[in-house]
Structure 1
Amino acid sequence: MNGCQMKLFDLKVREQYPTLGQSYTRSHAHCDKFLVQCSDSELMIVELYYGYKKRFIRDSHVRDIGCKRIELYKVNLQDQVCQRMESLPEDCAIFLSYPENGFFYKIPREDLNSGLVRGNTVYFSERNDKRLYAYDVKERSVSVSLPCPNMGIDYYEPQWIQLPLHSWTSADVPQPEVTIDSKQIMLPSGSSSARGGWNDVPTDLLSDIQSCLFGADRCYFRLACKAWKSSFSNSNCESDLQLGKVQRNHRFPILMHIGNNNELVKFFDPITNSTSTLPLPSLKATEPIIRCSKHGWLLISQGSSGHQQLFFLNPFTNERIDLPKVRFLQDGISFSSPPTSSDCMVICYAVFLAYVTLYSIRRGNYSWAYSSAEKKGIHFKSSYSNPVYHQGLFYIMGMNGNLCIHDPGPRRSTKFMSLPRRPCASIRRGHLLESRGKLLSVFTGPVGRFLRVFELKQTTMAWKELHNLEDTMLFLSSTSLLSATSSGVEISGLGNKVFLDRFSGRDGIFYSLATRKFHTFWSGHNSSDWSDTKEYTYSTWIEPNLEKHNEKELQWLTW
Structure 2
Amino acid sequence: MRNEEPHLLNIPLDVLRRIMEFCVGVEYLKLRATCKHCQLAVPIKRLQTYSLNSPWLIVFDKHRGVITFTDPMFGDKYFIKTPQKLIGELRIYCSGYGWLLLYKLDGPGELFFYNPFTNDIRELPSGLPYLDSLYFLAPPTSPDLCTVLGLSASLPMNFYIYIWKSSSNWGALNIVLENEEGNNFWNAVVAKAPRRRFAQHILVSRDSHPLLVVLDELGEFVEVLRLNGYALKWEKLDSLGRYMIYICGTTSLCMEAKTPEMENKIYFPRLDSKHRKIVFYFLETRKYHTFNGQNVEQDLDDLFGTKYHVHPHAWIEPSWS
TM-score by length of 1: 0.44
Larger Rg: 1
Aligned match of 2:241 in 444, 463, 470? 470
Q: Which runs of 5+ in 2 are unaligned?
A: 1-23, 30-46
Pairing of 1:54-203 with structure 2 (within 5 A): none
What is the CA distance between 1:513 and its match in structure 2? 1.4
Equivalent residue, structure 2, for 1:279? 81
Equivalent residue, structure 2, for 1:535? 308
Aligned match of 1:295 in 97, 111, 115? 97
Aligned match of 1:267 in 60, 66, 69? 69
What is the CA distance between 1:519 and its match in structure 2? 0.9
What is the CA distance between 1:510 and its match in structure 2? 0.2
What is the CA distance between 1:262 and its match in structure 2? 5.7
Superposed structure 1 runs of 4+ greater than 6 Å apart: none
Aligned match of 1:449 in 216, 220, 232? 220
Equivalents in 2 of 1:425, 1:348: separation in Å?
28
What is the CA distance between 1:254 and its match in structure 2? 0.5
Q: Is the 8 A contact 2:164 2:171 kept in 1?
A: no
Equivalents in 1 of 2:226, 2:117: separation in Å?
32
Q: Is the 8 A contact 1:243 1:274 kept in 2?
A: no
Aligned match of 1:486 in 238, 253, 257? 257
Structure of greater relative contact order (alpha carbons < 8 Å, 6+ residues apart): 2
Instruction: Summarize deviations over 1:30-50 as a string: whole Å, max 9, x none.
Output: xxxxxxxxxxxxxxxxxxxxx
Q: Which runs of 5+ in 1 are unaligned?
A: 1-240, 381-413, 548-559
Pairing of 1:129-528 with structure 2 (within 5 A): 244-245=27-28, 248-261=50-63, 263-283=65-85, 285-303=87-105, 308-341=109-142, 342-352=144-154, 355-364=156-165, 365-374=169-178, 415-426=186-197, 428-487=199-258, 489=259, 492-505=260-273, 506-522=276-292, 524-528=297-301
Equivalents in 2 of 1:427, 1:362: separation in Å?
38
Q: Return the letter of the residue paired with 2:99.
A: W
Residue 242 to residue 329, structure 1, CA distance change in 2 (3 Å):
closer
What is the CA distance between 1:283 and its match in structure 2? 4.5
What is the CA distance between 1:494 and its match in structure 2? 1.9
What is the CA distance between 1:314 and its match in structure 2? 0.2
What is the CA distance between 1:272 and its match in structure 2? 1.8
State the SS of the aligned residue for 1:244: helix
Aligned match of 2:318 in 537, 541, 544? 544
Q: Return the letter of the residue paired with 1:337.
A: A
Instruction: Summarize deviations over 1:481-530 as a string: whole Å, max 9, x none.
Output: 1122125x3xx332110011000032110011122221111284322221
Q: Is the 8 A contact 1:262 1:287 kept in 2?
A: no
Q: Is the 8 A contact 1:326 1:368 kept in 2?
A: no
Aligned sequence identity (%): 26
Instruction: Summarize deviations over 1:36-66 as a string: whole Å, max 9, x none.
Output: xxxxxxxxxxxxxxxxxxxxxxxxxxxxxxx
Equivalents in 1 of 2:198, 2:141: separation in Å?
35
Instruction: Summarize deviations over 1:79-109 as a string: whole Å, max 9, x none.
Output: xxxxxxxxxxxxxxxxxxxxxxxxxxxxxxx
Equivalents in 1 of 2:129, 2:26: separation in Å?
39
Instruction: Summarize deviations over 1:8-35 as a string: whole Å, max 9, x none.
Output: xxxxxxxxxxxxxxxxxxxxxxxxxxxx
Q: Return the letter of the residue paired with 2:307.
A: K
Equivalent residue, structure 1, for 2:3? none
Residue 356 to residue 261, structure 1, CA distance change in 2 (3 Å):
same
What is the CA distance between 1:243 and its match in structure 2? 6.1
Residue 543 to residue 425, structure 1, CA distance change in 2 (3 Å):
same
What is the CA distance between 1:376 and its match in structure 2? 9.3
Equivalents in 1 of 2:287, 2:216: separation in Å?
13
Equivalents in 2 of 1:452, 1:507: separation in Å?
23
What is the CA distance between 1:315 and its match in structure 2? 0.4
What is the CA distance between 1:268 and its match in structure 2? 0.4
What is the CA distance between 1:425 and its match in structure 2? 1.1
TM-score by length of 2: 0.74
Equivalents in 1 of 2:270, 2:239: separation in Å?
22
Structure with more strand by fraction: 2
Residue 458 to residue 479, structure 1, CA distance change in 2 (3 Å):
same
Q: Return the letter of the residue paired with 1:546.
A: W
Two-structure CA RMSD over aligned residues (Å) = 2.8
Q: Is the 8 A contact 1:300 1:312 kept in 2?
A: yes
Q: Is the 8 A contact 1:337 1:343 kept in 2?
A: yes
Residue 242 to residue 437, structure 1, CA distance change in 2 (3 Å):
closer
State the SS of the aligned residue for 1:475: strand
Equivalents in 2 of 1:481, 1:291: separation in Å?
12
Equivalents in 2 of 1:291, 1:470: separation in Å?
29
Residue 340 to residue 427, structure 1, CA distance change in 2 (3 Å):
farther
State the SS of the aligned residue for 2:148: strand
Q: Is the 8 A contact 1:345 1:361 kept in 2?
A: yes
What is the CA distance between 1:284 and its match in structure 2? 5.2
Residue 461 to residue 346, structure 1, CA distance change in 2 (3 Å):
farther
State the SS of the aligned residue for 2:218: helix
Residue 376 to residue 486, structure 1, CA distance change in 2 (3 Å):
farther
Residue 427 to residue 347, structure 1, CA distance change in 2 (3 Å):
farther
Equivalents in 2 of 1:242, 1:435: separation in Å?
26
Equivalents in 1 of 2:127, 2:197: separation in Å?
34
Residue 315 to residue 321, structure 1, CA distance change in 2 (3 Å):
same
